[in-house]
Structure 1
Amino acid sequence: MNVVLSGACGGLGQALARQLVAHGAQVALVGLDVDRLQALADTAPGRCAIYTPDVADGDAVQAMAHDWMARAGTPDLVIANAGVAGGYDTAQAEDLQVFRRMLEINLLGAATLFQPFVAPMRAQRKGALVGVASIAGWRGMPGNGAYCASKAGLIRYLESLRAELRGSGLTVHTVSPGYIRTPLTAGNRFVMPGLLEADEAARQLLQGVAARRAHIVLPRRIGWLSRALACLPASLHDRILLAQPRKPRAGEAGATPIPGLSPGHAPAASPAPSISDLAHERPPQR
């Protein structure tokens, strides 16, 4: 199997990469932490390559895609897993930069990753495109507007893409995790029902893709809980959520870093496109 995986440095991404290489896949590992990616590549010499583009940078992602397909051929599976999370306060002007960057990574990043692969995959009339959204995209949550908006947008984008590719031989999968034990949830100060370990979440995700399920909720029971809460009157639902602690904003204690932001929240300059093959051996041509 030929796989392209973004967000391969994070908890879920690392778990997905480990399971994919354990099953003999060739994997393009896309992320920003070269040391973490190198450790993964070392477990499968000759079957992995490392790429470090900004996933929202179209030119850099195009370069990555062309290089990988020249090495390993057209992918069978593309997983848009790169994502960032953080609290958001509309009253704070500097948080607008956080909102913009979150949309770039969580929403635009998925479309940018898929784009160079759709035509080649359609030509071979097989393959799967997977977008990792969130149950946070099902309903807005106080103090989490940027993240919820980015994931809700991703869910609708994937819905549109699924309709466009119907009959093409390609499948499109929307993954909506609840809470997974990763660095993104480490700073959460609220109750996280149904918390999954990353390895189990990765197993369920890949199992759902293999079963050709269009919508994959991790774990399924968190989807049932979210749907039950959605049946409550909006005022009561909001009151319950308002009673929970807020997710830390960028720069606050417990916040997870958002790549591309300076400490003052101003976006840093985009990194130059970088293509690094650190796996020592070239994946075989198909």
Structure 2
Amino acid sequence: MRFHNAVLTGACGGFGQALARRLIAGGARVGLVGLDRAVLDDLAALAPGRCAVFTPDVSDHRAMADVGTDWMARFGAPDLIIANAGVAGGFDTARPDDLRVMRRMLEINLLGVACTFSPFLGAMQDAGRPAALVGVASIAGWRGMPGNGAYCASKAGLITYLQSLRAELRPTPITVHTVSPGYLRTALTAGNRFAMPGLLEPDEAARRLLAGVDRGVEHIVLPRRIGWLSRALNLLPETLHDRILLGQPRKPRAGEPGSTNIPGLK
């Protein structure tokens, strides 16, 4: 692995922990960003001299700026940033309370990525060395799905944001990578009541992500076959596609059985 100085958000979840363990095992210095201090401390204990733990709200640009200042004072500009923090949940426009869910999901899944990259980007450009910015989006960002409008919108916005950033950084040695997982066996999918084709274990997904970034792949789909299935479905007429999706169970909304926690939801 060519990366030696990494910052990882969402390090507490199943996928984040798998990424952290692989980075640490590869000898990298790793900034572990998440909300569960105990989990982060356990990860940092794997390489105490090479890890630092941070527990900010990733959508708070001031808190993330403090993370950047602290990390770079210790270890310098990173050569890899993985913006992995994200939340998911069902959404119903007819229910006014769900608008707060959409707001928070956009804050974490979209704004949080920009807030993660921002404190480091200037120093990374000044360093003039090859480096990578990785945003973990989702296949759900490729097309809207019934009952999942907030999540789909946040990930679609992230994909477009990463396209813009990639174009801006073409003249530099910094690459931008969009990762679109399908279904990973994590807490975010544990409450799903529908079929999850191509379900992938977090460690295997982490291996594929890091290998893809290492090779310079700009668009990484995990697993690739779920991307092919999604593209095939998108070739169908919209009315037929919608009819198929409407027949599937919906993701639980916030507060429903099987829903996942959304930090900072007010």
TM-score of the superposed pair, with normalisation by structure 2: 0.98
Larger RCO, structure (CA 8 Å, separation 6 or more): 1
2:96 to 84, 87, 93: 93
Within 5 Å, give how 1:95-244 maps onto structure 2: 95-125=98-128, 126-244=130-248
Residue 107 of structure 1: CA displacement? 0.1
Unaligned runs of 5+ in 1: 262-266, 268-286
Equivalent residue, structure 2, for 1:248: 252
2:43 to 16, 40, 43: 40
Verify: 1:19 aligned to 2:32, yes or no.
Answer: no
Residue type of the partner of 2:118? Q
Cα deviation code 1:32-55 (max 9, x no counterpart): 000110110111121110000000
Cα deviation code 1:197-226 (max 9, x no counterpart): 000000000000001011000001111000
Return the alpha-carbon distance in structure 2 between the equivalents of residues 258 and 177 of structure 1.
20
Secondary structure at 2:254 match in 1: coil
Residue type of the partner of 1:185? T
Equivalent residue, structure 1, for 2:264: 260
Secondary structure at 1:196 match in 2: coil
Equivalent residue, structure 2, for 1:4: 7
Residue 9 of structure 1: CA displacement? 0.3
Cα deviation code 1:104-143 (max 9, x no counterpart): 0000000000001111111122210000000000000000
Residue type of the partner of 2:154? S
Cα deviation code 1:139-185 (max 9, x no counterpart): 00000000000000000000000000002110000000000000000
Secondary structure at 1:171 match in 2: strand
Secondary structure at 1:147 match in 2: helix
Return the alpha-carbon distance in structure 1 between the equivalents of residues 171 and 223 of structure 2.
29
Return the alpha-carbon distance in structure 2 between the equivalents of residues 21 and 260 of structure 1.
29
Residue type of the partner of 2:48? P
Return the alpha-carbon distance in structure 2 between the equivalents of residues 118 and 46 of structure 1.
24
TM-score of the superposed pair, with normalisation by structure 1: 0.91
When the two structures are aligned, how many residues end up with a matched partner? 262
Unaligned runs of 5+ in 2: none
Runs of 4 or more, structure 1, over 2 Å off, are none
Secondary structure at 1:131 match in 2: strand
Secondary structure at 1:180 match in 2: coil
Equivalent residue, structure 1, for 2:64: 61
Let me know the Cα RMSD of the aligned residues: 0.5
Return the alpha-carbon distance in structure 1 between the equivalents of residues 181 and 72 of structure 2.
29
Return the alpha-carbon distance in structure 2 between the equivalents of residues 111 and 12 of structure 1.
20
Residue 86 of structure 1: CA displacement? 0.1
Residue type of the partner of 1:195? L
Secondary structure at 1:86 match in 2: coil
Equivalent residue, structure 1, for 2:87: 84
